[in-house]
Structures are given as structure tokens and as C-alpha cells.
Amino acid sequence: MQKTCAIIGAGPAGMASAIRMANKGYQVTVFEANQQAGGKLTQSEEKGYRFDMGPSVFTMPSLVDELFIESGKNPRDYYNYLSLDPVYRYFYEDGTRIVAYKSPSKFADEIAEKTTENKQTVLHFLKNVERNYRLTAEIFLYHSLHKARNFFTWRVAKGLLNFGKLGAFKTMNQENEQAFKDPRVVQLFNRYATYNGSSPYEAPATLNVIPHLEINLGAFIPAGGMYSITKALVALGNDLSVNYQYNSKVTEIIIESKKAKGVKVNGEIHHFDCVVSNMDVYNTYKYLLPNISKPLKTLNQPKSSSAIIFYWGIKKSFSELGLHNIFFSNQYEAEFDSIFHQKKPFSDPTIYVNISSKKNKDDAPEGCENWFTMINAPHNDGQTNWDEMIAQTKEAVIEKINRNLKTDIRPFIEVEMIWEPRKIEQITSSAFGAIYGNSSNNKFAAFLRHANFSSEIKDLYFCGGSVHPGPSIPLCMLSAKIMSDCVV
């Protein structure tokens, strides 16, 4: 008889897990609480403007393509993507503007022209982060950290032997200040800590491998926007007979004799041979496994940052902006202190503006732009004045953009939607609205992420950004792979 698998949540990792489990011969049912798949990788439309609501930077597309190839399908029959050049545009308060070109050499030329750094310093740094990625990937990304057998390979041994070179005992900022003299360049590379919701002043320099994925390997944009990834993965799942059930909130994982036996949905119990949770691991234990002993050391780790995002329909086009734009705070360290220690958005926030209509013209009316305008914010830690903080943040964001672009965007905002920590928690089940699960603000954080399987409950597995190896679309794809490799 064909074995069955329940997957809780249709986020990127849940969709990828459904595909992998179907390819292992399981009859798969995905239970999604919302009315559509995607989790944070979803979309919204308003008055002719289309917005990707969550992830907006696409790297390592081969990890998504792999799902189709291993299913015997051509990924280009489901979705397509383009390489970006340039990738980012950076704006500083002193008037400096740096364009991050696709070519590392051209990017290094740009930095040398706009700052006091020289080209070779930048290229040397990028070479080092590539080396460190190759040393760490086998340890931290591609295999479970929680299976002893995975440590007995030459690649893992080589990484462990070189552990002292990986910056685990320095912060990102400390290593970047040693590499560069110009504070603008330090700030540019420090920002990669935010890719997993951490502070460069506390997170280990090991995270400096992140720019390798974007700068050395390149960044991309899917045709039709990021949501086209969701549509492609659902379509592939459907072709593999995955059963998606929407508006189906799982309220309990059924455990009998220390074995996962099924899930309860809308008061009805459904029996399965194994259960995979793509729900935030903290909330999985809190709400779905209330009577099970909890791994408190893991669950009580400090949470990542969250975000306040303004989705603005702008009835004007700005030629100086590209697809990805960063307006840097002039007080970067104080910004992270405000987020992680004072638990409030900073008064001079760093702003990320993503404008997908720069590449996908159908995402906004002609002559207009769809602005995904985001700042890093604290997670929801019981603050009682969120509405006031969001209103203050909106004013600070508008003033900063106006100051940098020498304009006034207020009269051009004709559509506005807002996501903030409380709403993120409500819609995506991210505990405390922390987008990235646990933060990486200590050198052991990578080892303290929850495993992709339960060591206490047989046939219970985990995937997604809150467990190993971490957040982002590439890592969610890898978490699904690691999870499926753990299935007995």
C-alpha cells in the first residue's frame, strides 16, 4: 500500500517537501491555513499594481530547478528567470551612490571609483568569501547537522579543520572593518546580516559567505515576479498528484506511542504515515504539540528581526531607481541597537525599495511603479504602541527618500498596504512576527537551529526557514532536501 504524508503549510519549503516526498513514492496532502499557497512567497494586487509580499531577491535558482529536474520535468516549462545587471543601487546620506553590477570586477571598479577603497581589496574580499562558502556549505547547508554520520566525510573534515579561518569568533563588522577602511564599504557588506534577521555587530563573521551567493553567483528575477515560483511549484506538485487543501488549518499533530500518526483539521482527524511541519517550529510546538516535551534550549533562542513594509502604488517613474535599492542609515550601529535592544524601529532607518515593475512592466500601470518599501524592525515582543511606531516609521521613510531623491513622493502614493510584525505573525504563523525564526546573533546559532526531524517523535519532520539550515528561498529548498533525506 502507498505510504502517505501530511505537510503542514504551503510555504516554499512545504511546497518543495511535497514534491520531494511525492518523488519518494508518498501520497502527499498539503494543508494550508490560507486560501492560497506561498506562505511569505505570495502576492497581492490593488488597482492595477501587483506586489510580491515577501522574498524579493532570487539567488541560487538551480536549487529550485533541481525539483523539476529530479521530477523528470523541464523547469522552463513551468517558470523562467533573468539574470540581473545591475543588482543593487546604494544611496548614502553624504550623496554617494554605488551601483552593484553583476560582474564582480565591474562592481569592484565602481567601489574604487566612488570610495577610498581600491579594486584589489574588494576582489580579495570576494575571493575570501567564496573560499569560506566552499568550506562551510557542506557542514552548514547541504546536510543535517544532527546526524553524526554526516561529519565523517572529507569535505566536512576539511571545513572543520579550517574552522578558525571562517570568522566564527569575530563579528561580521569586526571582520569587515579589518578588510576595508572606508566605512561606506563596511556598511555595504555589513548589511548582509539582515538576510537572516541578525545584527552585523553581533552575528559571527561566518555569515560573510552570504554576499558570495548574490555577488559572485549572481541574482535573478523570475518572469512575472517572485510569485511565479510559487505558481510553478504548485503546478509541479499537481502534476505529481500532490493534494493541496486550502483554508485548512491544522490544529494538532496526532501523536500515539511517540509516533506521529496524523493531523487534526477543522475538528477531523486525518491519518498519515508521517507528518512534516513547515509551520514555524516555535508555533508548531506551542500550538500543534502542546503535550509534548519541548526543546527549550532551541525554542528559547533570541528571535530574529521582523519588518515594516509599505506597499506603495506610485503614479510616477523614477529613473534613478532600479529593481533593488538601499537607502542607508547614517547611524548603522545605532539602528541595530534600536531594533534588537530597544525593541523599536530606528528614527533614521535603512530603507529597502524593491520595484519589480522595472523588469515586469505589467506589475504597475504605464508610467507608474510598484514600491515594496521595507525597513528592518523588531519582532513583536509585547510592544503596546505598534500603531504609533508604524506611523512614525512611515514619516521617517518618506522624509529620507525625499531627501535622497530631492523630491516629494507623497502626492504620488495612490495605493498603500502595510505589513508589520503583528500581521506577519497572524498571516504566516511566524512566531512573534520574527521573519527569519531565531537570530544568528551568536557564534553557535547555526548549531542551535532545530533539526529537520524529531529525535523524540518517530515520523515527525520539520522544514522551512525556522529550522536547519535557515531562512531564504535557497535555504528553504535545502531544508526540504535535508528533511526528505532524513525520512526512513
Task: Tell me whether residue 97 is in a domain.
Answer: no
Amino acid in position 337: D
> Strands (DSSP E) along 113-213, which ranges?
none
- Residue 154, pLDDT > 80, answer no
Task: Tell me whether residue 371 is in a domain.
Answer: no
Amino acid in position 202: E
Question: 221 has which bridge partners?
Answer: 82
With a CB cutoff of 8 Å and minimum separation 6, the contacts of 224 are 79, 231, 360
Task: Tell me whether residue 291 is in a domain.
Answer: yes
| Cβ–Cβ < 8 Å for 464, 457 | no
With a CB cutoff of 8 Å and minimum separation 6, the contacts of 161 are none
pLDDT at 114 (0 to 100): 98
CATH number at residue 68: 3.50.50.60
C-alpha to C-alpha distances, 338 to 308, 345, 375, nearest whole angstrom = 14, 6, 12
- In angstroms, the first-to-last Cα distance of the chain is 16
Task: Tell me whether residue 29 is in a domain.
Answer: yes
- Residue 160, pLDDT > 80, answer no
* Region of poorest pLDDT, from 9-13, 138-142, 402-406, 472-476: 138-142
pLDDT mean across residues, the chain: 94
Q: How confident is the model at residue 338 (pLDDT cuts 50, 70, 90)?
A: very high
Per-residue pLDDT tens for 365-395? 999 999 999 999 999 999 999 999 999 999 9
80: DSSP letter: -
Whole domain around residue 280: which residue ranges? 4-76+224-299+449-486
pLDDT at 155 (0 to 100): 57
Task: Tell me whether residue 119 is in a domain.
Answer: no
Q: Can you tell me the distance from the alpha carbon of 286 to that of 453, in angstroms, rounded to the nearest whole number?
A: 17
Q: How confident is the model at residue 242 (pLDDT cuts 50, 70, 90)?
A: very high
Ramachandran quadrant class, 47 (left: phi over 0; alpha: psi -120 to 50; beta: rest)? left
Q: Can you tell me the distance from the alpha carbon of 36 to that of 483, in angstroms, rounded to the nearest whole number?
A: 23
Domain count, the chain: 1
Q: Can you tell me the distance from the alpha carbon of 324 to that of 403, in angstroms, rounded to the nearest whole number?
A: 18
- Residue 225, pLDDT > 70, answer yes
Cell of 159: 571545513
Q: Catalogue the long-range contacts made by 483-486 (C-beta closer than 8 Å, 24 or more residues apart).
A: 483/13, 483/17, 483/20, 483/276, 483/452, 483/453, 484/17, 484/20, 484/21, 484/24, 485/143, 485/144, 486/144, 486/147, 486/452, 486/453, 486/461
pLDDT at 385 (0 to 100): 97
Q: How confident is the model at residue 297 (pLDDT cuts 50, 70, 90)?
A: confident
Task: Tell me whether residue 259 is in a domain.
Answer: yes
Q: How confident is the model at residue 169 (pLDDT cuts 50, 70, 90)?
A: confident
77: DSSP letter: G
Task: Tell me whether residue 132 is in a domain.
Answer: no
pLDDT at 442 (0 to 100): 85
Please give the backbone phi and psi of residue 317, each rounded to the nearest 5 degrees, phi first. -115, 135
Report the pLDDT averaged over residues 326-343: 98
| Cβ–Cβ < 8 Å for 451, 417 | no
Nearest by Cα to 348 from 392, 293, 307: 392
C-alpha to C-alpha distances, 112 to 119, 121, 179, 396, nearest whole angstrom = 5, 9, 14, 31
pLDDT at 488 (0 to 100): 72
Task: Tell me whether residue 275 is in a domain.
Answer: yes
Reduce the DSSP state of residue 6 to 3 states and report it: strand
Helix (H) or strand (E) holding 90, with range, is: strand 88-91
* Region of poorest pLDDT, from 30-39, 128-137, 282-291, 310-319: 128-137
pLDDT at 326 (0 to 100): 98
- Residue 443, pLDDT > 90, answer no
Q: Can you tell me the distance from the alpha carbon of 335 to that of 329, in angstroms, rounded to the nearest whole number?
A: 7
pLDDT at 162 (0 to 100): 58
- Residue 458, pLDDT > 90, answer yes
Helix (H) or strand (E) holding 98, with range, is: strand 97-100
Report the pLDDT averaged over residues 289-315: 94
Q: DSSP for 226-263?
A: THHHHHHHHHHHHHTT-EEE-S--EEEEEEETTEEEEE
Cell of 219: 541574482
The pTM of this model reads 0.94
- Residue 213, pLDDT > 90, answer yes
Give 411 or 132, the one with higher predicted confidence: 411
pLDDT at 164 (0 to 100): 60
pLDDT at 137 (0 to 100): 80
Q: DSSP for 313-353?
A: EESS--TT--SEEEE--S-HHHHHHIIIII-S--SS--EEE
Length of the chain (residues) = 488
Nearest by Cα to 472 from 27, 31, 51, 64: 64
- Percentage of the chain beyond pLDDT 90 is 88
Report the pLDDT averaged over residues 152-167: 57
Q: How confident is the model at residue 52 (pLDDT cuts 50, 70, 90)?
A: very high
Reduce the DSSP state of residue 370 to 3 states and report it: strand
